[in-house]
Structure 1
Amino acid sequence: MVKHIILWTLKSDLSDKEKENVKKDIKDGLESLKGKIPGLVDIKVTTIGRLSSSTADFMLDSTFENEEALRFYSKHPAHVAVADSKVRPFTSARSCLDFEI
């Protein structure tokens, strides 16, 4: 199994209301991929409970059958559509950690 963790920071020019709406749209979009992409075992986006000590705004925690499944996911049209329409236009920074479990 492979874990794929992403931390994002939202663009600073978004209002607090816009940030909440964007995080909801991203959560809904990414979590809707479960069951649609072969090899994707689980996917969860955490958007609430952030402490003031955090340096990112929200997190993706996903699990894949193996590294090949993660590579397949990264290019899958359903994932690319969500990333291009809901994530990339609204984020200014992204950190990724992939590891075997």
Structure 2
Amino acid sequence: MADNIKHIVMWNLRGENEAEKLQSVEVIKNCFESLRGRIPGLLHLEIGVDFSRIDYACDVVLYSEFSSREALDVYATHPEHLRIKQEIGDLRITRHQVDYIANATM
């Protein structure tokens, strides 16, 4: 049985004001949502925008699930994903990532 992999990425975005950050959020949402149905093994994808405004919170999160580690590897090098990474690279200040096996026991 293949592992179900969760891939979570969080960003803090550039922007002089809230309107500029919201523009960046829209670009990120549109980019990643365009991947649905285009990446083999990508089971689920959603973009969340922080509303807490807590000083240590990230601005936006990508939550995605893959059918296996191999599917995550395919995603990482897929031309559409690489295009998006290039497109959004200048929008972010920081990036954090966690990949883990769903329901893994320790």
In structure 1, distance between residues paired with 2:7 and 2:16: 26
1:52 aligns with 2:53: yes
SS of 2:62's equivalent in the other structure is strand
Structure 2: stretches of 5+ with no match in the other structure? none
SS of 1:38's equivalent in the other structure is coil
SS of 2:36's equivalent in the other structure is coil
TM-score by length of 2: 0.86
Q: CA deviation at 1:55?
A: 2.1
Amino acid at match of 1:76: H
Amino acid at match of 1:50: F
CA deviations on 1:41-79 (whole Å, 9 max, x unpaired) are 1110112x5202242101000000011111110110001
Q: CA deviation at 1:14?
A: 3.5
Q: List aligned pairs for 1:1-101, cutoff 5 A.
A: 1-11=4-14, 13-47=15-49, 49-53=50-54, 54-85=56-87, 87-101=88-102
In structure 2, distance between residues paired with 1:31 and 1:73: 14
Give the paired residue count. Answer: 98
The alignment-based identity, stated in percent, is: 31
CA RMSD of aligned residues (A): 1.3
Rg larger for: 2
